[in-house]
Amino acid sequence: MRVIPEHKFSDDDILKRYANFYGDERIFADGLVPSLRMKLSSLSEFMREIKVNFARFYNRRHHRRGYFWGDRFKSVIVENGETLINCLAYIDLNPLRAAIVDRPEDYRWNSLGYHLQTNNRDNFLSTDFGLKEFNVKSKKERIRRYRRYVYEAGSLNQPEKGSVKVIEDKVLQKERNRKFELSKSDRFKYRTRYFTDSGIIGSKEFVSANYQRFKHLFYSMHEKKPKPIKGLNGIYSLKRLSEVI
Q: From first to last of the 245 residues of the chain, give the pLDDT tens digit.
A: 777 888 888 888 888 888 888 887 777 777 888 888 888 888 888 888 899 999 999 999 999 998 888 888 777 777 777 788 888 888 899 999 899 999 999 998 889 888 888 878 778 888 888 887 778 888 888 888 999 999 998 898 765 555 678 899 998 998 899 888 876 656 555 555 666 677 888 898 888 988 888 887 777 778 888 888 776 678 888 887 755 44
CA distances to 160, 216, 241 from 219, in Å: 60, 8, 17
- Residue 95 carries which side chain, given as an amino acid letter? P
Which of 2, 188, 168, 153 is closest to 79 using CA atoms? 2
Separation CA 214–CA 207 (nearest Å): 11
3-state secondary structure of 236: strand
